[in-house]
Amino acid sequence: MKNTQYRNIIFDLDGTLLNTLDDLAASTNYALHACGYPPRTTEEVRLMVGNGVGKLIERAVPQGTSHDATSQCLDIFRQHYTEHCLDNTQPYPGVIEMLSELKRREIGLAIVSNKLQTVVSELNEHFFAPNISIAVGETAQLKCKPAPDMLLQAMNLMEATDTNTIYVGDSDVDIQTAHNATLPCISITWGFRDKDFLIQHGATAIAETPAQLLEMIKSDELGVRS
């Protein structure tokens, strides 16, 4: 298909637009310490993210931790991360320029993330306004990725369809989410997962830099649909 059909792009947030790893690791270890559990390395946290903060804490606490104790640790994480999500987080190099160019081309832009809606809105407003106005995060009404609900909500707000929309993300969860929403997916390698991992998990189109992503989007051969 010609790229002229694709007029909307939905981005994952963590590991795609923003390097949030240090702040996620700091809040994880703050919560673990508060609950009397051993800390996790930043590399361990990197491999635990992707399915929302509930899964992150479930993976971070010691094996066999009760549901109630895990929930208590999650509550501590949520409070700390809400207050400290901007401490070290920054856009990846080239991301702001990429978004500005896409906006200049009149491409519709949105974010979906398994983070809490309040945090997603704050990060989007701080880093990406006015390029992106639609940012969908975790709420009681929306199932987290890899369920398609968040993508479908973003598409509804954008007045987009599955024939004119691309999803961009950095993980296996993003590949599966795009598949579940019947969207084509471009996987990126500057985030939390490397190229080999992405290929092993079904990536069919891969960008290694924001500049390469721009070229792929305007190319006549975008890649195979998920």
pLDDT in tens, 142-197: 999 999 999 999 999 999 999 999 999 999 999 999 999 999 999 999 999 999 99
Quick one: fold of 3-19+90-218?
Rossmann fold (3.40.50)
Strands 18-19 and 90-91: antiparallel
Given a contact cutoff of 8 angstroms between Cβ atoms, the answer to whether 109 and 103 are in contact is yes
Residues of the chain within CATH 3.40.50.1000 domain(s) are 3-19+90-218
Per-residue pLDDT at 50: 84
Per-residue pLDDT at 5: 65
Per-residue pLDDT at 219: 66
| Chain centroid offset of residue 185 CA | 13
Per-residue pLDDT at 218: 77
The CA-based dihedral angle spanning residues 196, 151, 23, 32, taken in that order and rounded to the nearest 10 degrees: -90
Given a contact cutoff of 8 angstroms between Cβ atoms, the answer to whether 195 and 208 are in contact is yes
Residues of the chain within CATH 1.10.150.240 domain(s) are 21-84
- Averaged over successive runs of 10 residues, the pLDDT of the chain (226 residues) comes to 70 97 97 98 94 93 97 97 95 97 95 94 95 94 94 96 95 96 96 95 96 84 43
Per-residue pLDDT at 6: 83
Per-residue pLDDT at 148: 97
What tokens does 11 get? Answer: 């981005």
Domain 21-84 CATH class label: mainly alpha
Per-residue pLDDT at 220: 44
Cα separation, 33 vs 26, whole angstroms: 10
